[in-house]
Structure 1
Amino acid sequence: MQTRGAPVEELPLPPIITEDPLPAPPEENLELIRQQITSYLTERNDRLKQREELREQNLNAEKSRLNAEQQQAAMTRLDSSIKRIPPFIKRLRTVTEQQRDALCRDMQTLNLTRYISEVATALTEAKLKMSDVWTSVQICSLLHQRYPDFSLSLYENWLKVLQKETLNENLSKVRVDLRLFAELITVHVLPINQSINHLITILTTLINNDKDFSNLTILISFCRLCGEDYAEIFSNKIRKLIIKLDENIDDSNKSTFHSNELKQQIRQMLNDYFQKLSIYLIDEYKQLQKQDQLMKRTMENRGEINQEIKDKYEQTNTAFQKLLQNTETMADLLEQTMPELPVEG
């Protein structure tokens, strides 16, 4: 008798494994890019317009100067009392944006003819914040428009304050003073030729006497705030965004305050500085790598690392990261390529 075998149990089919498609790369936020570009160009155009208008006012004042007799007659109607003028000069040593309107009002009522030297000294010795520089430029412009001898007196005081021999004594003040001096040249308050020559001297000193690149932040500040006027600087990041957006954005409005020859000269100085900075960055990175390797070997051999060695490494690493960040900023401003750091191993 033929027997039927036990039914074969069917094994469940293995689950079908489907690979999830790779997520699509996020689309560029074109609106955000557009906003970044618009913000940069608007601020840039406003800045150029602001300087063009003030420069024009200063030039017009130079062309329409009163003669000595007319100037004296105009000044006699103003207040020259000893009670008001010294306090006014004292306030110039602590100029802030909030004080601007009050200072300008007082200036309109005072006769400062006999105090121009003291006024110039106060303005150049003032310890300003960067945000107060434009207020000082406006005040200096008003003084220049009213007093024919103010420009030369101010320049002579700058020669005492911005001396190449003493630049390293107070770097934070030099950073602000350099911008103020450059702005005063641009808006035509200072004697142009002498002042430009002195500016070149100061920049040359800052660049050439900077073995440890302690002047880097001063030069970054100069590039950011005065770089377009003096070196045709335009953010590389923004330029790339304009190319990426590809919408025929007009960025042709350029600073024309200074000659192309001057811009090329200063730009070349800054480019040369960046090349030296790149070499320094690589050297500092190698030193950091050596410290890192030393710590690893010490850990392998002893199982612990001395706190002093740890602290030294942290200090070196912090300093390097700051240097790296500043170098990246300088590279963007000058449209230069960042140096490649050597790979360990």
Structure 2
Amino acid sequence: MEHPEDECRVGVEHPEKHEDEEAVARHEEFKKSVEAKIALRKNNLNPERPDTGFLRTLDSSIKRNTAVIKKLKQINEEQREGLMEELRSVNLSKFVSEAVTAICDAKLRAADIQAAVLICSLLHQRYKDFSPSLVQGLVKIFFPGKAAEDVDVDRNARAMKKRSTLKLLLELYFVGVVDDTGIFVNIVKDLTSVEHLKDRDATQTNLSLLASFARQGRYLLGLPLAGQDILEELFKALNVTTDQKRFFRKAFQTYYDASVELLQSEHAVRLFPLLNWKTLNLERKSLRQMEHENEKILSAKGELNEENASTYEKLRKAYDQLYRGISGFSAPCLQEIVVSLLVQSSTVIYRSPDSKPIS
């Protein structure tokens, strides 16, 4: 005979046990993904490329190759397997440059990066001249030339393109398709140039790109891997010198300091960073002064004129953008660079005196 207590226990699921099981499952999935990258890196570093005789047995028609190249402009995880099968069945020897252009033009989502890595690895293992051309094309996205930068195009689209390209380059570096760390030295050197601080949009974009780089490429900065020992095997073979790690850290620190100085000068704001970098107190003197003046006008006239309202909105928007950029930039990297703390699993939160937390 069952006791009432036993009946209550039947079907009861302990939240802690469920959470533990999920954590174990996530760890196993992560471990498998890293092991797959290690295996892919070995294949990419020592590719067994087919000879010309084998390639001649594949379809080399212009019609078929053109159709496949067109699909490379739309790489996504959903169609990855089908596209890879098609790539294995054609001879792209005479169309490598077209394939590279298509991949460089592809609008990749974050979810599509790994699909692009596998496709690029396949092409790298098959065509010797693919990787050098691909790297040149991807890096060009960060250095399009002054004429291209001056064109009044969608800056958000350009920023998103740089972000996805940087993610792709780093992942290709981790799996051995890209082997030159100097590529990232040049990119970071450009992103952290103080000349960009003259352009508000460029500053915001660069802060976002650098924060993304710090999260994904923390090994290049010499930051601890937060207990993810499995990553050591993947990263230990990377050709990153001590001088390069030192360069990345110094570049990040210098650009962060310059950004804070810009925030101070433009908005009369002082930053008081504590040693542990867990809080960042902001005094928005100029904004508060303008708010106070606007309150007086509202009390006297009942409304703000269009000029005053527009000026305040622009100042507020500019301040918020730079504040978010600096907060996001500092959280994943500078906290550890300055204080040498182990990375916390949760994002460090910074709070201004009268604002909501920004994570």
Shared topology, TM-score over 0.5?
yes
Q: CA RMSD in A?
A: 3.5
Match of 2:168 among 157, 176, 180: 180
Aligned to 2:10: none
Summarize the alignment of residues 121-136 of structure 1 with structure 2, pairs less than 5 Å apart. 121-136=101-116
Aligned to 1:89: 69
**Contact between 1:85 and 1:110, CA under 8 Å: does it hold in 2?**
yes
Aligned to 2:253: 271
Residues 118-171 of structure 1 show CA distances to partners (whole Å, capped at 9, x for unaligned) of 111111122222221221111010011111221222233335433263585622
Aligned to 1:326: 325
CA distance in structure 2 between the partners assigned to 1:36 and 1:147 by the alignment: 41
**Contact between 2:100 and 2:130, CA under 8 Å: does it hold in 1?**
yes
Distance 1:315 1:36, change over 3 A: farther
CA distance in structure 1 between the partners assigned to 2:293 and 2:31 by the alignment: 52
Aligned residues: 292
Percent of pairs with identical residues: 27
**Contact between 1:164 and 1:201, CA under 8 Å: does it hold in 2?**
no
Summarize the alignment of residues 1-345 of structure 1 with structure 2, pairs less than 5 Å apart. 48-61=34-47, 64-65=48-49, 71-163=51-143, 165=145, 168=149, 170-190=158-178, 192-193=179-180, 196-208=181-193, 209-211=195-197, 212=200, 213-215=203-205, 216-224=207-215, 226-233=216-223, 250-253=227-230, 254=232, 255-256=235-236, 257-261=238-242, 262-282=244-264, 283-284=266-267, 285-299=284-298, 302=301, 304-336=303-335
Residues 249-287 of structure 1 show CA distances to partners (whole Å, capped at 9, x for unaligned) of x44454333425223321221122222222333443343
SS at match of 2:320: helix
Aligned to 2:272: none
**Contact between 2:208 and 2:329, CA under 8 Å: does it hold in 1?**
no
SS at match of 2:176: coil
CA distance in structure 2 between the partners assigned to 1:50 and 1:37 by the alignment: 20
CA distance in structure 2 between the partners assigned to 1:266 and 1:33 by the alignment: 37
Deviation at 1:72, TM superposition (A): 0.8
Deviation at 1:94, TM superposition (A): 1.3
Deviation at 1:92, TM superposition (A): 0.4
TM-score (structure 2 length as normaliser)? 0.69
Q: What stretches of structure 1 move > 6 A for 4+ residues in a row?
A: 30-44, 337-343
**Contact between 1:93 and 1:127, CA under 8 Å: does it hold in 2?**
yes
Letter in 2 for 1:198: I
Q: Kindly name which structure, 1 or 2, has the bigger radius of gyration based on alpha carbons.
A: 1
Unaligned runs of 5+ in 2: 1-15, 150-154, 268-283, 339-348, 355-359
TM-score (structure 1 length as normaliser)? 0.71
Unaligned runs of 5+ in 1: 1-29, 240-249
CA distance in structure 2 between the partners assigned to 1:47 and 1:88 by the alignment: 28
More displaced 10-residue stretch of structure 1: 264-273 or 332-341 = 332-341
**Contact between 1:234 and 1:333, CA under 8 Å: does it hold in 2?**
no
Distance 1:273 1:51, change over 3 A: farther
CA distance in structure 2 between the partners assigned to 1:272 and 1:31 by the alignment: 46
